[in-house]
């Protein structure tokens, strides 16, 4: 089982991920960063597996607001979900993954910029280190008084 970090530009998108149990990634043609990093993104995206952890962070602050478990990887859904999609009336994040569950908090579970060695710029994803996941789980446990084993 692998853990992944995904970055969002805002809390609202993470909250929508929690409400809908879905996360999406840009299409290749979205911009220069996406075109440039398409192949590394696809290689990494193909490594996402059911039962992997996924950590949701706000890119500019390092705040972690969510932790989920992947249910299924890529599926095609043309539903407009995120505010930017609704505003532009088109799907911007067609590369979607489905979550089986997600823990979310409007208050960050932790605020920490974490070094991700294989982070894919333009897609906001990379492998999350195991020791950082253990630390995050401890923080979540103490903040919401949850019993975890």
In the block, tokens 């960050």 appear at 108
pLDDT at position 146: 63
pLDDT at position 5: 96
Radius of gyration of the chain (CA): 15
Q: Give the count of domains, the chain.
A: 1
Return the sign of the alpha-carbon dihedral for residues 82, 87, 88, 90: positive
Give the CATH number for residue 41.
Answer: 3.10.590.10
Low-confidence stretches of the chain (pLDDT beneath 50)? none
Could you report how far apart the first and last alpha carbons of the chain are, in Å?
A: 16
pLDDT at position 31: 75
pLDDT tens per residue, range 33-59:
888 889 999 999 999 999 999 999 999
What is the span of the domain harbouring residue 122? 3-144
Residue 149 lies in a domain: no
Q: Quickly list H helices, the chain.
A: 11-20, 32-36, 38-45, 83-88, 130-144
């Amino acid at each position: 089982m692998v853990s992944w970090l995904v970055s969002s530009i805002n809390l609202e998108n993470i909250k929508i991920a929690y409400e809908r149990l879905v996360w999406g990634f840009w299409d290749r043609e979205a911009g220069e960063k996406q075109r440039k990093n398409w192949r590394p993104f696809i290689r990494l995206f193909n490594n996402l597996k059911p039962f992997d952890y996924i950590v949701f962070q706000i890119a500019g602050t390092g705040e972690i607001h969510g932790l989920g478990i992947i249910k299924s990887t890529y599926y095609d859904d043309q539903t407009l979900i995120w505010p930017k999609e609704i505003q532009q009336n088109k799907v911007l994040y067609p590369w979607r993954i489905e979550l089986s569950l997600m823990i979310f908090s409007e208050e960050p579970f932790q605020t920490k910029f974490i070094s991700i060695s294989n982070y894919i710029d333009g897609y906001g994803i990379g492998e999350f280190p195991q020791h950082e996941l253990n630390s995050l789980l401890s923080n979540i446990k103490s903040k919401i008084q949850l019993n975890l084993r």
